[in-house]
Structure 1
Amino acid sequence: MTTTEATTTSKNSKQKKSAGQGGPVWDWAAGHGPVTGALSATTGAFAVATTGAATGMPPTWALAVGAAGAVGHTAAGIRLKNAGRTIAARASSWLITAGWTTWATAHGPLTWQALGSLAVIGTGMATATRSTNLYEEAREEEAAAAEQRAVALELSAERRAIAEEWVERIRRVCGISVRVLAVEHWPTGTGFTLDAELPGGTTYDQISTRAAALSADAHLPHGCTAAASPGIHQGRTLIDVATVNVLETEVPYPSDYAPLSLHTGIPWGYRSNAEQIQTYLREQCALVVGPTGSGKTNMVHVILAGFARATDVLTFVIDLNAGSAGLSWVLPALNHQPAPGERPMRPGIDWLAGTVKEAHVMLDAVLRIGKQRKIAYQGLMAREDTDLLPIGPSIPQIMLVIDEGAEILTSTDKVLKELAKKILEVIRMLRAMGIRTVLTALGSTGAVLGNLMIRREAKVRVALTGGEKEGMDLGKLFPGTRGLKVDQAPYKGSGFMGTPESPAALFKCWRILPSQIREIVAATSERHPTLDAVSAKAAGDAYARRWDADRIAWMHNPQPTPTTPAAGQDEEGRRELNLSALREDRPAGEQGQEAEADRLADAFMREIDEQFGTTTEPTPKRERPQRPGLNLSALREDRPAEPESSEPSADGTDAVPPLLQQAYDAVKAAGGRMHTADLATQLGIDTTELGTELSRILRAVGVERPGKGTVRAGNGESRTGYLAETLSEAIRRYRNPQ
């Protein structure tokens, strides 16, 4: 007889299916319930009584065993702190069963009286066990609830203390008497949030503007703030108080490269409460500013990582700094050697432009895609009853990431201005068609944020400060948000971020390593969508052949800057005219200087015309075609072969620049007087370029413009007034250099 089995708290038995048979398998390790426990106890007692009666066992032995079991269970119940009724019920079960066994051994267990009484004992035992089990469960639940109430009471006391402390602090620092309705501790353990009710006629701005003072008054660690934001309605505010500076620690990019979607948000970093920041760029553009050393390049890679993980985004990258922002996402795929039967790896970005020329090709294709989508998908948008193109894996959104793109938009350089026009057209026209931009800049200055299009469309804004104060006007980048100080985020990769869904506040960007970039490229290769057929057709060969060997040769070139002849020389080193048509890769500063030189040259030639080189008769305005540049030997494909020797002839004719000789002959034939526009038309040259080149040619031999007194007659007196004489003097000096 085993009475313990009848009184043990039960666990549900599990039926298992045998691997070879379909029948149930007993779980002998499982405990007994009230019914199975009572059945086990009664059958055990019946077996002992039957065996004892047959073998002549002394009946008192069963009573002694039952008494020992009752004493043992009583001691165990006291140790487990069971209720008195539970201990009594278990001890009684042992004693009653032992008494029946003793009586049945002496008088015989095979009588109806013995069997009936055993059945009654078993039923009572099951009922008592069930009752005590329920009572014990209720006691355990009540004890847990009491413990929780004690903890809640302790937490409530802590929250009340925090609420009282901050009510007093806000009244003292901000002059506002608020009522704190709730205090919620952050799950990360790095701070808490106060839900406060504002007095009548007060807004949360009156608290947010004093965030720095509140933080100092609370003695918060550096990098921790007390930031107020809108509450559930305008009479409430939420005050986030960070007590642990999570921004000073470098956190690696999450290793979970799970699929993302543009519609559910793409994470760019985490707040001071360690919660991720989700960006929603279906309709918004983004602007990321940060000086050198603030972690802006790392931030660009984090952005590209999010786009690479998305199943409904294709990323186009423009980086005029040798394409450095996108090369890390392209080279792993280009250098990948697929095994037999393995599919080639796709780059992490869909297109990379590292030169102005390729950027123009890309932007032209993007504009064609957007305009064609407007026409081709009208029926789809009508069926979906929306004015926004339904974006998904079949029709992906194009995210155009332009490193230092804000500087391109504000540049005064002629070449970059043309690029800026196309970027602004993309931003202005293609929102509904699923084409958005992410621009970066070196600072949040007035020059960058002076463009209305940037301020209006770039609602997602990031300022990576890194402690840098120069050129970081947070008030311009986050208008209407006060209390933001650069010294609150002195760590690399930290700063402020604001979205339409969350106000500007402190944040930190993850650190992403080159090895992670390679892992993401490999992990997301099969995940990238393909450009829809309508867009691919509109983009044409410019898109289809973007990975052709001749267009990506520069990505594999270990010498990114090829050796080129100096300006003003041909491939063999001979001096030629240093024209814009001959210079394709020029620094932006040099291009700006040339634009200023063109303007001055044009003014110079107008001065010549007004003072000396025109007749008194009105000159009719002629319609003349716009020509791309000087029609000189460097630009003429059908020019005659040059002589092998570059030595000047005996009379010095070869030393005279061709343009100077042609201009002199034309002016001489016209009688020494000719309008600049007429001269340019006769020579087939643009007026501005004519002025630029003639000025350079004259300065090369020390001949100043007419009116300076440098061209003199034979008697030594100053002779001015005839353009022909000026050109003649320049020719003489070229032929007979001193």
Structure 2
Amino acid sequence: MTTTTQANNGPVWDWAAGHGPVTGALSATTGCLAVATTGAATGMPAGWVLTVGAAGAIGHTISSLRERLSARTIAMRSASWLIGAGWTTWAMTTGPLTWAALGSLATIGVGIGAAARSTLLFEEARELEAIAADERQVSRELSAERRAIAAEWVDRVQRVCNLTLRILAVEIWPTGTGFTIDAELPAGGTTYDRIAQHSAALSADARLPHGCTAVASQGVHQGRVLIDVTTVNVLSEERTYPSDYSALSIYTGIPWGYRTNAEEICVFLREQCALVVGPTGSGKTNMVHVILAGFARTTDVLTWVIDLNAGSAGLPWARPAFDPNGAPVDGVRPGVDWLASTHEEAARMLDAALAIGMRRKVAYQDLMAERNTDQLPISAKIPQIMLVVDEGAEILTSTDRSMKDLAKKILEVIRMLRAMGVRTVLTALGATGSVLGNLMIRREAKARVCLTGGEVEGMDLSKVFPGARGLRVDQAPYKGAGFMGTPESAAALFKNWRILPNQIRDIVHATTDMHPTLDDVSAKAGGDAYANRWAPDRTAWMRDTAHAPTAGTGAAEQPTAGRGLNLSALRSDKAAPVTDEDAAVRAFMEQIDAQFATAPEPGTEPEPSAAAPGLNLSALRDSDDDGGPTWVADAVAAIKAAGPAGMKPSAVADLVRRSRQAVRAALKAAAERGELVYRDNGPHSVYVHPDHA
């Protein structure tokens, strides 16, 4: 029986505790003495004691068998009952209080205690041995499974890649969704690329489910290779953003999704920028919200968002912090530190970022010298500014004048403010050369995401992940799924979590106390543009649900692609009458001057149109009754004279002295009418006359 120490009342008996070797022997001997004394005094028949002892021996034998105890333990328990009953019977007839009776009882007690201790140790050893045997059995079975996997993949790699591997280890993923093979490459300078380029063939040969891949990556040295084999398609299921909103740091990594082995993948953005590519419907907007959720949980990051599409990316993160009148809600801070939905506000934001970065370069020289570093030590007191620009890659490649101004400032931020803790996350609609052609984007955006959603057009993965092998768009046909690569993790399949508006609202409230405040040096550099960023007059657009943004706000200043001018020459119906004709003409001329060059094309003179004298508009120029420009006939004749070699569109443009864009459109229309044949040969594509085709 055990005791526990209590502070005020002294030792307390634990009556629920079981007997050990000492307390068990003591309990047995005192019980025998009490029964023998009582029986002798009352004249109890001695046979009753023997009957009770036999019953106890039988009961303990049955219970021990049920517990699957050893024969040694069963014999000890039965013998204890029988010896105790025998001594009690003898003591009742001869007297229990004699020295012979008491001495023999003490001897029996010592023997029972010693035997109980011995059997207890034996049972413990037996139990440990059984556990070890089970573990050895599991290990043998697991080893057998691993050996089978190793043998299977040695044959598979030999068959598909014509390489003989020496597999060193097979690690079964704890999630049960696949395994990793660690193998040694054959001698002769073989690299892991030889296996990586056959990823699709290996997956097909292994009969892996759709969405599962066999991806080869670098091992611990250049003579080793790791092959990650996914056997369960975790990309097909939708998972919500984790409900753990614990604090993060820019140094510890920010989770953006999970790999095919169901493990989270984190990005480290202290020094690098990020690029997220995804066409419409691939889950790019949801990915932006996942990114903003991660930034909202960091204690040393302030998030600035530029979204010229009415600020839709940042609105759900800002609205919970303001009431319908634009006044701040007590105890709630916006999930983003600044939101720009117009060109003017975006320009203010970028100017403030540049001013803050330049001021930090000078003001924190002593701090950097004290820390012996050439990079600003980021902390909750001096937070990093993450600039998230939705469709920012398109801004960088736009030819519009106002967009070029924003693009210039974005590039300055990327180029100049890395050490001062200002980094960017840009998104793009497609993985094409026009979007990713900027060297600054490719060089600085080390963390890259390409959401495919099954979309094939405009998804050139080699442009997003140059050098990566075995990546195919059809491996990630699910919304929110795609490929992700960072300097710490090679490009591979991943999927981001689904995050809904109600969860965004919960995150804003849960992370309010985590958000840092901009340091005084940076706040002064940001000036009134930063201090008044949430002023009611500058955030009125968030609450204006009755009207669309006007040109004065900058949200609708740019013409929509493909809309063009509302010209009467191109309208089938008459426009509404203009009450002030002079004002309408002036506005029309200003619009034309701002958006179109009216100078004649090189080598041509403006030819006034009889239908609309005045402006030399391309909509009214060079048209005939057949629906094509008048110079097409000359181009067709020249292409015919060129023979089977044909002519490139650029050569035709030089010949007819027209722009290449206009010539391509006209030649394409002529090919559709059957007047020409287009011979597609990449950069050497030509148009050929049907007589020579």
TM-score (ref. length: structure 2): 0.80
Which of the numbers 77, 80, 84 marks the counterpart of 2:71? 84
Which of the numbers 43, 48, 58 marks the counterpart of 1:61? 48
Q: Which residue of 2 aligns with 1:575?
A: 583
Give the AA of the match of 1:334. F
Bigger Cα displacement from structure 2, 395-404 vs 191-200: 191-200
Matched, 1:552 2:539: yes
Give the AA of the match of 1:331. R
Q: Deviations over 1:186-237 (max 9, x none)?
A: 1111111111111112111111100000000011111100001111222111
Q: Which residue of 2 aligns with 1:215?
A: 203
After TM superposition, give the deviation of residue 308 of structure 1 in Å. 0.7
Which of the numbers 128, 131, 149 marks the counterpart of 1:162? 149
Q: Deviations over 1:90-130 (max 9, x none)?
A: 11211222222222222222233322322222222122111
Which of the numbers 448, 468, 475 marks the counterpart of 1:488? 475
Which of the numbers 96, 104, 117 marks the counterpart of 1:117? 104
Give the AA of the match of 1:116. G
Distance 1:578 1:378 in 2: 55
Distance 2:36 2:217 in 1: 79
Which of the numbers 284, 294, 297 marks the counterpart of 2:285? 297
Matched, 1:309 2:297: yes
Residues 582, 542 of structure 1: CA spacing in aligned structure 2 closer, same or farther, 3 A cutoff?
farther
Which of the numbers 37, 40, 48 marks the counterpart of 2:27? 40
**Structure 2 stretches lacking a partner, 5+ long:** 553-564, 568-576, 618-693
Distance 1:124 1:553 in 2: 92
Give the AA of the match of 1:90. R
Distance 2:141 2:283 in 1: 43
| Total equivalences in the alignment | 594
Q: Deviations over 1:324-356 (max 9, x none)?
A: 11011111111389999x833111100000001
Matched, 1:269 2:277: no
Contact 2:381 2:517 (C-alpha < 8 Å) held by counterparts: yes
Q: Which residue of 1 aligns with 2:359?
A: 372
Matched, 1:597 2:568: no
Contact 1:336 1:345 (C-alpha < 8 Å) held by counterparts: no
Contact 1:414 1:595 (C-alpha < 8 Å) held by counterparts: no
Distance 1:572 1:507 in 2: 60
After TM superposition, give the deviation of residue 573 of structure 1 in Å. 8.2
Contact 2:277 2:449 (C-alpha < 8 Å) held by counterparts: yes
Distance 1:581 1:151 in 2: 84
Structure 1 residue matching 2:537: 3-state secondary structure: helix
Contact 1:570 1:576 (C-alpha < 8 Å) held by counterparts: yes
Q: Deviations over 1:252-302 (max 9, x none)?
A: 111121211111111111111111111111111000000010000010001
Structure 2 residue matching 1:550: 3-state secondary structure: coil
Distance 2:4 2:116 in 1: 24
Q: Which residue of 1 aligns with 2:453?
A: 466
Q: Deviations over 1:529-549 (max 9, x none)?
A: 111111111111111100101
Structure 1 residue matching 2:38: 3-state secondary structure: helix
Q: Which residue of 2 aligns with 1:285?
A: 273
After TM superposition, give the deviation of residue 358 of structure 1 in Å. 0.4
Distance 1:581 1:13 in 2: 101
Give the AA of the match of 2:430. G
Contact 1:16 1:26 (C-alpha < 8 Å) held by counterparts: no
Q: Which residue of 2 aligns with 1:319?
A: 307
Distance 2:117 2:489 in 1: 56
Q: Which residue of 2 aligns with 1:149?
A: 136
Q: Which residue of 2 aligns with 1:231?
A: 219
Q: Which residue of 2 aligns with 1:15?
A: 4
After TM superposition, give the deviation of residue 419 of structure 1 in Å. 0.6
Contact 1:402 1:439 (C-alpha < 8 Å) held by counterparts: yes
After TM superposition, give the deviation of residue 61 of structure 1 in Å. 2.4
Residues 602, 197 of structure 1: CA spacing in aligned structure 2 closer, same or farther, 3 A cutoff?
closer
Distance 1:570 1:563 in 2: 21
**Residue pairs, 1:251-270, within 5 angstroms:** 251-270=239-258
Q: Which residue of 2 aligns with 1:661?
A: none
Which of the numbers 178, 184, 187 marks the counterpart of 1:197? 184
Contact 1:322 1:560 (C-alpha < 8 Å) held by counterparts: no
Residues 128, 162 of structure 1: CA spacing in aligned structure 2 closer, same or farther, 3 A cutoff?
same
Give the AA of the match of 1:500. P
Distance 1:39 1:336 in 2: 80
Residues 69, 455 of structure 1: CA spacing in aligned structure 2 closer, same or farther, 3 A cutoff?
same
TM-score (ref. length: structure 1): 0.76
Contact 2:356 2:522 (C-alpha < 8 Å) held by counterparts: yes
**Residue pairs, 1:357-368, within 5 angstroms:** 357-368=344-355
Distance 1:211 1:26 in 2: 68
Distance 1:218 1:603 in 2: 61
CA RMSD of aligned residues (A): 3.1
After TM superposition, give the deviation of residue 596 of structure 1 in Å. 5.0
Q: Which residue of 2 aligns with 1:355?
A: 342
After TM superposition, give the deviation of residue 574 of structure 1 in Å. 5.7
Which of the numbers 115, 127, 130 marks the counterpart of 1:140? 127
Which of the numbers 325, 329, 350 marks the counterpart of 2:317? 329
Structure 1 residue matching 2:59: 3-state secondary structure: helix
Structure 2 residue matching 1:181: 3-state secondary structure: strand
Q: Which residue of 2 aligns with 1:186?
A: 173
Distance 2:432 2:267 in 1: 24
Q: Which structure: larger Rg?
A: 1
Distance 2:246 2:257 in 1: 16
Give the AA of the match of 1:497. M
Residues 27, 398 of structure 1: CA spacing in aligned structure 2 closer, same or farther, 3 A cutoff?
same
After TM superposition, give the deviation of residue 303 of structure 1 in Å. 0.4
Distance 1:257 1:230 in 2: 34
Distance 1:501 1:485 in 2: 21
**Residue pairs, 1:381-530, within 5 angstroms:** 381-530=368-517
Distance 1:274 1:308 in 2: 23
Bigger Cα displacement from structure 2, 574-583 vs 349-358: 574-583
**Residue pairs, 1:660-679, within 5 angstroms:** none
Residues 110, 417 of structure 1: CA spacing in aligned structure 2 closer, same or farther, 3 A cutoff?
same
| Identity among equivalent pairs (%) | 68
